Amino acid sequence: MYLISTQKEFEIENLEKALKLFEDKIKVDINDIIKNNLMDEVKFLIKNEILFYDVINGIIYN
């Protein structure tokens, strides 16, 4: 049981790192978009961010 728990913690830690990198990228992109007034890009990024969170939640909670 301990090995499974450790593996799950390892997976969650890696997912958290990936999520942090993704969030940092989104923040930079959104700042550029606001500066350049590209609303279609904002819609695209929000849609992708929601899909990414759905994938992360699916992996963590399943």
Q: How far, CA to CA in Å, does 58 sit from each of 15, 31, 32?
A: 11, 29, 30
Tens of pLDDT, residues 3-42: 556 777 777 787 778 777 777 776 666 667 667 766 666 6
Tens of pLDDT, residues 24-34: 776 666 667 66
Model pLDDT, residue 23:
72
Whether the full predicted model's pTM is greater than 0.75, yes or no, is no
Euclidean distance between CA atoms 49 and 40, whole angstroms: 14
